[in-house]
């Protein structure tokens, strides 16, 4: 077991969690910048991490059947959180899974990094490329691009967003 399967917390113990938790901490959404295990002192503030699939699949690439199979769990989790104003989808898989869980048509909400989608009930879906090792090492997703997506999600949620992150879309 590795990553979240080993640690018990999503994005903990794998490369994607490095950028994710550091950015959440800098945005004021986490009490620490590093996540080691589900039992460490890090806590999320005004945020929650939900996964499209419940187990980390081989090569971290869930198959469509796995996404469909786990979607009832995601739908139930989202249903228990009616106060949520913004979903930040980390990658196309998360984007598709959230739309499926909410019963929305994929064609009406095309995925794109930093794309924002108005949903029913004054809610929003904000997209980001996944913070995977592949995306960050190839420059497809830079820390600045990710900060920008998180800042937009914060703004849409009515949370304070760091002003210095608003123009962080360049590939730096």
- How do residues 96-148 score in pLDDT, each as one tens digit? 999 999 999 999 999 999 999 999 989 999 999 999 999 999 999 999 999 99
Bridge partner list, 128:
90
Beta strands in 82-153 (DSSP E): 86-90, 116-119, 123-128
How far apart are alpha carbons 95 and 109 in whole angstroms?
A: 9
In a domain, 1, yes or no: no
pTM score, whole prediction: 0.88
How far apart are alpha carbons 74 and 125 in whole angstroms?
A: 15
In a domain, 42, yes or no: no
In a domain, 12, yes or no: no
In a domain, 84, yes or no: yes
Closest CA to 71 of 24, 48, 104, 108: 104
Residues spanned by the domain of 53 = 49-165
Name every residue whose Cβ is closer than 8 Å to that of residue 122 and which is 6 or more positions away in sequence.
85
How far apart are alpha carbons 171 and 158 in whole angstroms?
A: 26
In a domain, 171, yes or no: no
Q: How many domains does the chain have?
A: 1
**CATH number of the domain enclosing 99:** 3.40.470.10
Residue 6 has pLDDT above 80, yes or no: no
Residue 172 has pLDDT above 50, yes or no: no
What is the mean predicted confidence (pLDDT) over 57-62? 76
């Amino acid at each position: 077991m590795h990553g979240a399967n080993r640690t018990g917390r999503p994005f903990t113990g794998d490369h994607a969690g490095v950028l994710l938790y550091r950015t959440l901490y800098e945005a004021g959404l986490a009490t620490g910048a590093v996540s080691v295990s589900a039992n460490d002192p890090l806590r999320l503030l005004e945020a929650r991490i939900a996964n499209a699939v419940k187990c980390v699949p081989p090569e971290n690439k869930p198959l469509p059947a796995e996404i469909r199979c786990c979607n009832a769990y995601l739908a139930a989790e989202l249903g228990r959180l009616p106060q949520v104003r913004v979903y930040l989808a980390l990658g196309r898989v998360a984007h598709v899974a959230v739309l499926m869980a909410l019963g929305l048509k994929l064609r009406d909400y095309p995925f794109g990094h930093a794309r924002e989608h108005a949903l029913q009930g004054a809610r929003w879906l904000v997209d980001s490329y996944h913070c995977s090792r592949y995306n960050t090492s190839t420059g497809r997703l830079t820390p600045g691009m990710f900060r920008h997506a998180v800042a937009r999600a914060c703004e849409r949620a009515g949370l304070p967003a760091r002003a210095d992150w608003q123009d962080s879309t360049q590939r730096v």
